[in-house]
């Protein structure tokens, strides 16, 4: 299956279980990989038949910045659900990185893959 991807999509979010994390936003980075058949987009050269990574990126940022959450697992599931539902994608992998979470590590995060039944 063909894929459309977005790497290193940055948002600033109220995210975390600790008190200080509720008081200031911190960066979350998303790597998103969507299954998408490119045939119609390539044949027509028309964005209407493509998975619009610009619109998708904006929708993800809007969702993530809309409200505070405790766990990055929750964010990952909500982002996957948005992409599957609003962008008619059949399968998506969402990787969420939280670079400020563990000072001794470059970054930490979770990765999930979800599909429509
Ligand atoms: N699996 C997870 N572990 C932890 C999370 C999380 O969202 N998922 N969050 C925290 C804290 O908020 C941490 O990021 C602050 O440094 C701890 N573990």
Q: Which of the following is catalytic: 62, 88, 98, 100?
A: 98
Determine phi and psi for 26, rounding to 5 degrees: -140, 160
- Tokens, residue 108: 């930490």
Q: pLDDT tens digit string along 85-96? A: 999 999 999 999
What is the CATH code for 3-43+51-115? 3.30.1130.10
Q: What is the pTM of this model?
A: 0.97
Q: Note the pLDDT tens digit of each residue in 1-60.
A: 999 999 999 999 999 999 999 999 999 999 999 999 999 999 999 999 999 999 999 999
Residue 17, ligand 1, Cβ within 6 A: yes
- Determine whether the shortest distance from the Cβ of 73 to ligand 1 is under 6 A: yes
Q: What are phi and psi of 16, to 5 degrees?
A: 145, 165
What residue segments make up the domains of the chain, in order of their start? Answer: 3-43+51-115
Mark whether 62 is an active-site residue. no
Ligand 1 site, residue 111, Cβ cutoff 6 A:
no
Cα–Cα distance for residue pair 90/86, rounded to 1 Å: 11
Residues 6+ apart with CB under 8 A from 53: 4, 5, 6
Q: Which atom of ligand 1 is nearest to the CA of 108?
A: 14
β-pairing verdict for 91-97 and 109-115: antiparallel
ipTM for the complex?
0.96
């Amino acid at each position: 299956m063909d894929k459309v991807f977005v790497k290193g999509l940055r948002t600033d979010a109220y995210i975390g279980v600790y008190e200080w994390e509720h008081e200031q936003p911190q960066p979350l980075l998303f790597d998103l990989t969507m299954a998408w058949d490119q045939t119609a987009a390539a044949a027509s050269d028309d964005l209407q038949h493509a998975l619009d990574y610009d619109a998708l990126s904006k929708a993800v940022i809007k969702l993530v910045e809309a409200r505070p959450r405790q766990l990055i697992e929750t964010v990952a599931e909500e982002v996957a659900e948005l992409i599957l539902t609003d962008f008619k994608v059949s399968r998506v992998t969402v990787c969420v990185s939280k670079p400020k979470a563990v000072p001794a590590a470059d970054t930490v995060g979770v990765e999930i893959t979800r599909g429509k039944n």
